[in-house]
């Protein structure tokens, strides 16, 4: 039972990290797109 809970916690951490990275990439892309469009 303990191993199962640890696995669930690990999966949640991976999903949160992946979402955070995805949001960071979107922000960078938006900033780059705004800079290129302003030119």
> Which pLDDT score is estimated for 26?
78
In angstroms, the first-to-last Cα distance of the chain is 58
Domains of the chain, residue spans: 1-28
pLDDT tens for the chain, residues 1 to 39: 789 999 999 999 999 999 999 888 877 777 777 777 765
pTM: 0.56
Residues, the chain: 39
Q: In Å, what is the CA distance from 29 to each residue of 2, 17, 35?
A: 41, 18, 10
């Amino acid at each position: 039972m303990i191993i199962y809970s640890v696995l669930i916690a690990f999966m949640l951490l991976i999903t949160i990290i992946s979402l955070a990275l995805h949001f960071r990439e979107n922000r960078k892309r938006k900033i780059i797109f705004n800079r290129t469009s302003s030119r």
